Amino acid sequence: MIAAVHTDEPRDLRLYRRMRFIRRFEETLLDLFDEGVLNGTTHACIGQEADAVGVIEHLREGDHIFSNHRCHGHYLARTGDALGLMAEIMGKEAGVCAGIGGSQHICAPGFMSNGVQGGIVPTAAGIALAMKLRGADTISVVFIGDGTLGEGAVYETLNIAALWQVPLLIVLENNEWAQSTPVSLNTAGSMAARFEAFGIPVTETTTTDVLEIDRLAQKEVELVRSLNSPRALIVNTYRLCHHSKSDDHRPEAEVAIRWQIEPLVIQRARLSEADWRRVDSEVDEQIAEVVATARALP
Amino acid sequence: MIFAKELNAALHECLETDERVVLIGEDIVDPYGGAFKVTRGLSTDFPERVRTTPISEGAIAGVSAGLALAGMRPIAEVMFGDFITLCYDQIVNHITKYEAMYNGKATCPVIFRVPSGGHRGYGPTHSQSLEKHFLGVPHLRVLAASLYHDPRAVLRDLLGQTTPALFVEHKLLYPQNFGRPGGLLATDDGTTVCLSAVPREDCTATVLAYGYQAMLAAQVVEQLAIEEEIFVELLVPLELSPLDYGPIERSVAVTKSLVTVEEGTAGWSWGTEIAAVLSARMFGRLRRPVGVVASVPTVIPSSKSKESRMLVGTPQIDVAIREAAK
């Protein structure tokens, strides 16, 4: 696991390494698509790596993550299984789901993802209910996006999760765009108020700084665990790449400005150039090895 | 004992013997005990594992999915089967997908209990038999309660395996006495119950029916035998989809004629699928085309007289069997 590797490394550097790994993994995927090696589609979380790393940093064995179509960062942060994911997306038998699930439908211990919006939320609540019924000290985490707030299943679940007080952490990554539709055309009123209406406490932040997300997520995870009740963490962030592949019609200037404050830029500023360059090159080597190994698989 | 009480006892046994079992649904706790009283008493004995929900069928299905993925055994009650349309995304895109799309790394054995069917004047949205919309969904079992299949055995079977299932319970079965009809010979071919007044060799048609319609068909079969000396064999399968064609083929190989009966609306249905399959498999051995009895493809009227003209009942079954037996 990436999380387990380099645990002796200073925290700032380790968090940077984990985000950099996700970034390079997905950039490599996009290259492989251009090369014609990959089939189907993929949804990169480039620009949102801090959410995955900052939250998942605080989960334990036994905790469960439910993710969505944009799941690579969450999966890598949770499992570190880059080869299994790469082989899966390449459609190889050695892939984590033997090439059946592909990019959006992944399963590993403590991790699942599904590509239909909304429906994963009650499912994550059901997992939380199972934990509660068993008296376990574990929590269920579900990652959703701003677009998912359009789905009714979300609100049915918020109601039940609050009524039954299940240990569910909803992480809402608001990246401002639901495919091609901006939040302004998608979401009326307040995102936070949607949770608060059900009595679910909300913490909201507008940041791409992994340390800030890490700090808030630590508190949220602890509270869900100790109070055995649902909470929501809203991270207002930004998706730097297209929704899936070559389908980006956002204003170039809007995107360009966000590249100035993306998670790696922020975290790099805390490190010596020698350190981050070394990590970059180590990550590149690792990814190259993953790709070479995956390509050679039957 | 009436069927509702048999089912209640079966659910009690599940909760008692298997700590993974969780009942979830609308208005299922005491003192109300469910819209059809099938869960009466259960929440008193198992308060943590019998959970009444808000009116949120999508979440009932979704929460059940999560429970099942986490190793529990949810049994969800969809108060009126008509409302299962609100569970459709969960069933088609989530629950039945997980095991296959994760290459067997997870299972999602949700059981839906689906009180269905008409003849009670509940009108267009509280009377339907919507199971045909779920037949053939990959990795989903659709079963139908009958007076001839012990619900304890059904639930034990479902809890002993991991494929998600719909258990369709016709509402008019609840007040009926459980048991096989006294006037007919009964044999079992797997989970298909075979009923006839005379041995198969003397039957001139096979009738295939499930649920409440099987009860009606049994009445017609018995009556035709006594009053008209028309002898046919009634097959009552437990499982509608996937369907075990073995018992049907064995019967039709002798009778050379088949008629299917279902309460759902006509067209693109259980019966038409069976007609297609049997016609292909037994072409040349059938004496006549497969007959398919189903309800008129329109809304179910609330008016008693209009409802009885629209839904399959004994008159339609009687006509079809006479025709098939020729």
pLDDT at A117: 87
Q: Quick check: is A188 in a domain?
A: yes
pLDDT for residue B63 is more than 70: yes
Residues B305, B125: Cα–Cα separation, whole Å: 17
Inter-chain residue contact B101 with A124, CB threshold 8 Å: no
B31 prior amide bond cis, ω within 30: yes
Domain range for A35: 9-295
Which helix (H) or strand (E) is B224 found in, with range? helix B211-228
CATH assignment at residue A123: 3.40.50.970
Residues A135, B136: Cα–Cα separation, whole Å: 38
Residues A37, A203: Cα–Cα separation, whole Å: 41
Q: Does B227 touch chain A (CB under 8 A)?
A: no
- Tally the domains of chain A: 1
Fold of the domain spanning B3-173: Rossmann fold (3.40.50)
pLDDT at A42: 87
Q: Does B59 touch chain A (CB under 8 A)?
A: yes
pLDDT at A5: 55
pLDDT at A40: 86
Q: Could you tell me where in chain B the CATH 3.40.50.920 domains are found?
A: 185-324
Q: Could you tell me where in chain B the CATH 3.40.50.970 domains are found?
A: 3-173
B-chain CB neighbours of A152 within 8 Å are 58
Q: Does B49 touch chain A (CB under 8 A)?
A: yes
Query: What's the angle, vertex CA B183, arms to CA B178 and CA B184, rounded to 5?
Result: 90
pTM metric for this prediction: 0.96
Q: Quick check: is A3 in a domain?
A: no
Q: Mean pLDDT over residues B267-278, rounded?
A: 98
Cross-strand pairs, A233? A171, A203
Here the ipTM equals: 0.95
Under DSSP, the state recorded for B289 is P
Inter-chain residue contact A112 with B69, CB threshold 8 Å: yes
pLDDT at A6: 65
Among partner residues B48, B58, B98, which is closest to A133 by beta-carbon distance? Answer: B48
CB B298 within 8 A of CB B310: yes
Q: Mean pLDDT over residues B186-192, rounded?
A: 98
Q: Does A130 touch chain B (CB under 8 A)?
A: yes
Q: Quick check: is A1 in a domain?
A: no
Fold of the domain spanning B185-324: Rossmann fold (3.40.50)
Digitized pLDDT (tens) for each residue of chain A, 298 residues in all: 444 456 789 999 999 999 999 999 999 999 999 999 998 888 989 999 999 999 999 999 999 999 999 999 999 999 999 999 999 999 999 999 999 999 999 999 999 999 998 999 999 999 999 999 999 999 999 999 999 999 999 999 999 999 999 999 999 999 988 888 999 999 999 999 999 999 999 999 999 999 999 999 999 999 999 999 999 999 999 998 887 777 788 899 999 999 999 999 999 999 999 999 999 999 999 999 999 999 999 9
Q: Does A171 touch chain B (CB under 8 A)?
A: no
Q: Does A97 touch chain B (CB under 8 A)?
A: yes
Q: Quick check: is A4 in a domain?
A: no
Tokens 């002898």 belong to: B231
Over residues B310-321, the pLDDT tens digits come to 999 999 999 999
Among partner residues B49, B61, B106, which is closest to A112 by beta-carbon distance? Answer: B106
